[in-house]
Amino acid sequence: MFLNIFDSHTHSDTSWDARHSITFLCETAVKKGILGFAITDHVEINEFYSRNIEKRIRQGHFEMLKARAAFGQSLILSYGIELGQMTYDMDLTRKVLSMVDRDFVLASLHCIRGSEDFYYMNFEGTDPYALLAEYYEELIAIAKLGLFDSMAHISYPVRYMNGNYDLGVDLTRMDDHIETLLRILAQNGKALELNTCGMREKIGEPSPTLRYLKRFRELGGEFLTIGSDAHSADVIGAGIQEGMALAKEAGFDYFTFYKKRQPRLLQIY
């Protein structure tokens, strides 16, 4: 049992694929004895207009302010964003980043250019390693931009390639790409995310696995955020304690959350 449980990746019903209001997430977090969490609702740059995201951001921000007024004494609420595919439209990305003040920017990549989200793919007739090469080249481009605080679930495609489709992908074949990515993050003082979602799904492992957490640490990575990727209140905080144990094993004595875009360290104990 660890203290200091902080979940840096959660979705409220501001995200089209999530179920509960920020207020209900706060109520649940307090009941679970969680120290705090970050709201990281989706902003997918390539779906910004089709998902009416500008309106969602305004509403979500307002909901967060109400929740902060009600729960600010009981838990730490970090107001963040999961910003997907930021390289696909840089002008829009800059506009989104300047719309409201945020505590935390979590960068993610859910699809490669011209393709649908890996979540929807069936991988028929594809070479998974070619897809992964494209995926990591884009993640490296995002890492170089440095407009974010932490990089989310860096083995996202594998969750579906191996989890849903048993393609038997050996991620170590991408180690050169991943090494480059981790080195850029470490050198630029960016955080890596340990996403625990896969631990409660068919694939049964976090993203990334211990191998890459260790490598990030060896390369001088200081900041690690841990997130459940909860899309409903019942799983807020899920896997965070297991994540803290993994972080410890990888050589981290602290993990990180963000307030006003600054890293705050929490001891793992």
Sites of contact with Zn ion (CB under 5 A): 82, 108, 229
Measured from the CB atom, the residue of 13 and 82 that comes closer to Zn ion is 82
Nearest distance from residue 203's CB to Zn ion, in Å?
A: 15
User: What minimum distance in Å lies between the beta carbon of 47 and Zn ion?
Assistant: 13
In which region does residue 4 sit, left (phi positive, over 0), alpha (psi from -120 to 50) or beta (all else)?
Answer: left
Residue 217 and residue 253 in contact, taking contact as beta carbons nearer than 8 Å: no
User: From the CB of 98, what's the least distance to Zn ion, in Å?
Assistant: 22
List the structure tokens of 204. Answer: 């049964």
Residues 6+ apart with CB under 8 A from 199: 205, 206, 238, 239, 242
Q: CB-wise, 38 or 254, nearer to Zn ion?
A: 38
| Helices 210-218, 175-187: crossing angle, 10 deg rounding | 50
240 token code pair = 């965070």
Between 152 and 266, CB nearer to Zn ion: 152
Residue closer to Zn ion (CB basis): 63 or 82: 82
- Give the number of other Cβ atoms within 10 Å of residue 91's Cβ: 7
Phi, psi torsion values for 136, nearest 5 degrees = -70, -30
> Residue 239 in 3-state DSSP?
coil
How much is the CA Rg of the chain, to the nearest whole Å? Answer: 17
**Calpha distance 100→95 (Å, rounded):** 10
Q: Give the Cα separation of 266 and 269 in Å (integer).
A: 9
* Residue with Cβ nearer Zn ion (53 or 254): 53
| C-beta of 47 vs 82, nearer to Zn ion | 82
Smallest distance from Zn ion to CB 135, Å: 13
Question: Using an 8 Å Cβ cutoff, are 207 and 158 in contact?
Answer: yes
Indicate the residue among 159 and 254 with the shorter CB distance to Zn ion.
159
Nearer to Zn ion, 110 or 215 (CB): 110
Q: How far is the CB of 153 from Zn ion (least distance, A)?
A: 6
CB of 220 to Zn ion, least distance (A): 26
CB of 9 to Zn ion, least distance (A): 6
Work out how close the CB of 269 gets to Zn ion at its nearest, in angstroms, rounded to a whole number: 27
Q: Helices (DSSP H) in 33-155: which residue ranges? A: 53-71, 90-99, 128-145
Q: Identify the DSSP state of 12.
A: -
